Structure 1
C-alpha cells in the first residue's frame, strides 16, 4: 500500500508537500483500527490530541476521532460522512474549504 500511496501523491502533484508518510503496512492493521493511529502518534512523538486526520473516507476520520485525534472530512460525490460513530470536527466541500476551517479553528484557540 505504501507504493500506491506514493504514486497517488505523485500523480496529484503534491508529494513534495509531505515530510513523511505512513502506511498501514507498518502495523499490519488497516484503519480504523486504533493501532494505526497510535503508530503514527508514536512515530511523530505526538499526543493524539495534537494530531488531525484530513481525509475523504469516513472510516479514516471515524477511526481518528475514536483514537483521540481531530478529524477533517472532505466531501466528494457519492461519499459522505457516516451517521454512526464519532464525527469529524470539520466537514468541507474540498481541501481548500477544510484548510480554511482548520486555520480559523486554530486561530480562534489562541
Structure 2
C-alpha cells in the first residue's frame, strides 16, 4: 500500500474502511512485529506467525495470538479468550 510506513495505523484503518467494517471487526496475520504493532494501534486483532521460534520485541504492542503455522495461528485467533 502506498500509505504503509513502519508501525503506523493508517494503512490498517484504510483497509478496514475500504472493506466497510470497523477496525475491531478485522484481523491481521503477519510475520513482522512492526505490522502487528501498526494493526494493534489501529484497533485490529493481530496474530503473529512465528515460524522461527523468535522472541517478540518488547517495544511493539503484543499480538493477540501467536502460532508457528497458519493453522495453529488461525485456531488461536478464533478461540474464545
TM over 0.5: yes
Which residue matches 2:21? 46
TM-score, structure 1 length as denominator?
Answer: 0.65
Is the partner of 1:82 in helix, strand or coil?
coil
**C-alpha spacing 1:51/1:31, structure 2 compared with 1 (3 Å):** farther
Q: Which one has a larger percent helix, Structure 1 or Structure 2?
A: 1
Could you state the TM-score of these two structures normalised by the residue count of structure 2? 0.85
How many residues of Structure 1 are paired with residues of Structure 2 in the alignment?
Answer: 81
Q: Contact 2:40–2:46 (CA<8 Å) still a contact in 1? A: yes
**Aligned-pair Cα RMSD in Å:** 1.8
Q: Deviations over 1:28-87 (max 9, x none)?
A: x32422211111011001111111110111111111111111100010227542112311
Unpaired segments ≥5 residues, structure 2: none
Q: Which has the larger radius of gyration?
A: 1
Q: Distance in 2 between matches of 1:103 and 1:42?
A: 22
Instruction: Tell whether the 8 Å contact from 2:36 to 2:46 is kept in structure 1 after alignment.
Output: yes
Instruction: Give yes or no for contact 2:53–2:68 (8 Å, CA) kept in 1.
Output: no
Structure 1: gaps spanning 5 or more residues: 1-23
